Structure 1
């Protein structure tokens, strides 16, 4: 049997064992969803980082390095900068609120209608992104093992769904820690080995096409999407804030988030370097395979196999977090809030596991039948992220006025429609998240000024805010 395949199998078995260990810490629904709020800050930090790294910052940045050069590194740099801002603003606040989900927090300010709307708008993108990660993991597994891609998707999806259902957030976070360490080790080792063989940045770039040295080669659409990652406050959403909710205290939540941000900065340079080396020494390959093929080319089979398994695991780190986050939203914001508010803990745990399985199965199916459309789905739904950020920020930081209940609901509903329209028409050739964010923020600001869509907190008109 292929050495790399054996290593990948062993790696996946280790992930399953870590999921089983997570089961020993999971006895209640609170354990399953938020680790009973006793997760150490360093575990939360590595899990946040792993959720962000995923296939986009490993395979994706390596692909950009291979295709367009150093401008691809702007993507992870913008992500890291955006994560720092989001964690500084939201990590401690969210933990202090004792909320499970972002939509739950939304209800406290604006009512159940807004909570359910935001829950749905949050869940649909996570399912499509989950499918994309299953597909990405399957592609890499197929490349390094020569197995058919549909079988590789089956393996990736099945392993992730199983260990998430077995151990909940503990299984997700512990495997994330392991996977972050492995992928970092692999990219650092690859950078060191290739620097020794081929020289550093300047030497490498001098041997590549001139465009690979252009920091703006990514083009308007890509660059606007990178800026949009900061502008839309992408990380004030369930996959990242759920680790904050699981932390022991608001202070530890902020510490975890900020450390995770710092971990993102160097990995972009490591991944882009791998793509540049692959372009120089492995011309003609599929750009999506730049990082794994470089690792297999420049390392002995055993070492390269371990690091390639780490790349597969990076895809799994994203998918397990998105699966668990989407299940938490469905369980807390839809099932418990609308259908069974008096459910016992045993019932909630059973429903949480069942919902994880159902959502995982849906993502699995999408990865198999819509492989050509997954990227389009992800790009479509990313634009919907900013619709609730401005109302949430106004509740946090505006101490004089607050949106009324129905103004907030109308705000997020209109912003959702605009996000769909901008996604279809893409004004000025920009990524739809840019105009969506600007219009959504402007709409909230306007509603705060108008007398019938907002109320004064100084006049103690809380009842007016709730009823209007």
Structure 2
């Protein structure tokens, strides 16, 4: 009962913080609502990035994988994401200097309307699925500790997340993300040794585990390298992550904040895996998705158990809100303002953004009710949004000789290759997102080199003199 009260109080505090943060910083324009006024400092950026990316997959999902086939090596799922964020740090300054709001906006500058529309649709679909994953993870925790029906907890979690996200956009989400990341990292770090001790100590836990569960590379180097590539590809093209870079105060903050985030994720990595192993040792035969909650409820004092599970809810809620904001931004900026109402005022855009968040919450709820897998569903979302756009976005920012055709064809063939690879069951253990991104890269450079040799002019730059001037003007105003 104490644990349940703590989690409910936590959710109430999150909604209250969202209201207060929005009241203190008036949200009038779309940039305020969707990009927090492009004002995030390095620590705020690191915190909101980490909170957005340490979600259901990195908590409930990792514990479930440790309980299952991956064992202790499940911790690589989070460590690899930190490495991925570290690699994105080198691209972050380009993303910030582009003065963009969304990924498709950058693609349109180089490759035209068709590339823009295709990437927008892919990103929105992926956002719905990713949001559903986080709602599932939050609901699993609540259902396990309260005994409530999973369907009811999915609705409860979805409604709460939708409300606090809708209230103030990225302003409120950033404020609550800082609370989330403190709960996640500090709460879990304190609780993990307590869980191990109360389960009989590490030696006792080890003696009850199946052979091989403690192997650091049990998951295999192919998977570890694949995870690093997947995270680099998806974090550099995922709207919920890149939107944080767009919201940084300047290019330097974008890079520093990304470095700090990488450190946080690397340090946190193996904590949920160890908790999953404790659950396996003491409670063989339960649903792997319940491993985290089961270990916390049984081996933590009620108050600490509540803090731990509130931390897990924090992780999943922050990721869900990030996905909701991302979809809202994509629809508002890349569909509504572009095709439906080109002269929309800032007030109109804020209203539409809030309405879209409600729709996203409803659709994500529908997906969550019909599919309760965590990591497989999340990886599928990564595949949809990243495989095709990867090469055209990343190399389009830094490779001056890219052509319009190279961008469009890599976007198309990379997406098709990923879906076909997924349908074939990911042969040779190569992830669909990695295979699709490799195909998009090969197509991109092949077409660009051939066309360049034929005298075809390069595509327009994604960062023009106009964008640089706008960025410099913004920095002068801030200083």
Fold shared, TM-score > 0.5 on shorter chain:
yes
Partner of 1:236: 237
Q: CA deviation at 1:455?
A: 5.6
Instruction: Map Cα deviations across residues 211-235 of structure 1 (whole Å, 9 max, x no partner).
Output: 1123343368855752442463534
Partner of 2:477: none
Contact 2:2 2:303 in 1 (8 A): yes
Contact 2:396 2:407 in 1 (8 A): no
1:462 and 1:48, CA in 2 relative to 1: closer, same or farther beyond 3 A?
Answer: closer
1:462 and 1:15, CA in 2 relative to 1: closer, same or farther beyond 3 A?
Answer: closer
Q: How does 1:279-358 map to 2 (within 5 A)?
A: 279-358=280-359
Q: CA deviation at 1:453?
A: 9.3
Instruction: Map Cα deviations across residues 102-154 of structure 1 (whole Å, 9 max, x no partner).
Output: 11111121112211111111111110111121122111111011111111111
**Within 2, Cα distance between the matches of 1:334 and 1:62?**
38
**Within 2, Cα distance between the matches of 1:382 and 1:461?**
27
**Within 2, Cα distance between the matches of 1:294 and 1:80?**
25
1:92 and 1:56, CA in 2 relative to 1: closer, same or farther beyond 3 A?
Answer: same
**Within 2, Cα distance between the matches of 1:453 and 1:333?**
34
Q: How does 1:47-86 map to 2 (within 5 A)?
A: 47-67=48-68, 68-86=70-88
Contact 2:161 2:320 in 1 (8 A): yes
Work out whether 1:402 is the aligned partner of 2:402.
yes
Partner of 1:466: none
Partner of 1:215: 216
Partner of 2:470: none
Q: How does 1:1-400 map to 2 (within 5 A)?
A: 2-24=1-23, 25=25, 26-67=27-68, 68-86=70-88, 88-194=89-195, 204-205=205-206, 207-218=208-219, 223=224, 225-230=226-231, 232-368=233-369, 370-372=370-372, 377-384=377-384, 385-399=386-400
Unaligned ranges ≥5, structure 1 = 464-468
* Aligned pairs, number: 456
1:186 and 1:292, CA in 2 relative to 1: closer, same or farther beyond 3 A?
Answer: farther
**Within 2, Cα distance between the matches of 1:92 and 1:153?**
38
Q: CA deviation at 1:258?
A: 1.2
**Within 1, Cα distance between the matches of 2:374 and 2:312?**
20
Contact 1:133 1:319 in 2 (8 A): yes
**Within 1, Cα distance between the matches of 2:33 and 2:453?**
39
**Within 2, Cα distance between the matches of 1:455 and 1:113?**
23
* Deviating more after overlay: 296-305 vs 143-152: 296-305
**Within 2, Cα distance between the matches of 1:297 and 1:263?**
27
Q: CA deviation at 1:201?
A: 6.5
Instruction: Map Cα deviations across residues 246-276 of structure 1 (whole Å, 9 max, x no partner).
Output: 1211111111111111100121121112122
**Within 2, Cα distance between the matches of 1:454 and 1:331?**
39
* Deviating more after overlay: 273-282 vs 322-331: 273-282
Partner of 2:442: 442
Q: CA deviation at 1:9?
A: 1.5
Contact 2:81 2:232 in 1 (8 A): no
Q: CA deviation at 1:90?
A: 2.2
**Within 1, Cα distance between the matches of 2:199 and 2:454?**
62
Contact 1:91 1:254 in 2 (8 A): yes
TM-score if structure 1 supplies the norm length?
0.90
**Within 2, Cα distance between the matches of 1:288 and 1:461?**
47
Give the SS at the match of 2:402.
strand
**Within 2, Cα distance between the matches of 1:294 and 1:322?**
28
Give the SS at the match of 1:99.
coil
Give the aligned CA root-mean-square deviation in angstroms.
2.5
Contact 1:55 1:133 in 2 (8 A): yes
Contact 1:172 1:320 in 2 (8 A): yes
**Within 2, Cα distance between the matches of 1:436 and 1:343?**
37
Unaligned ranges ≥5, structure 2 = 462-479
TM-score if structure 2 supplies the norm length?
0.88
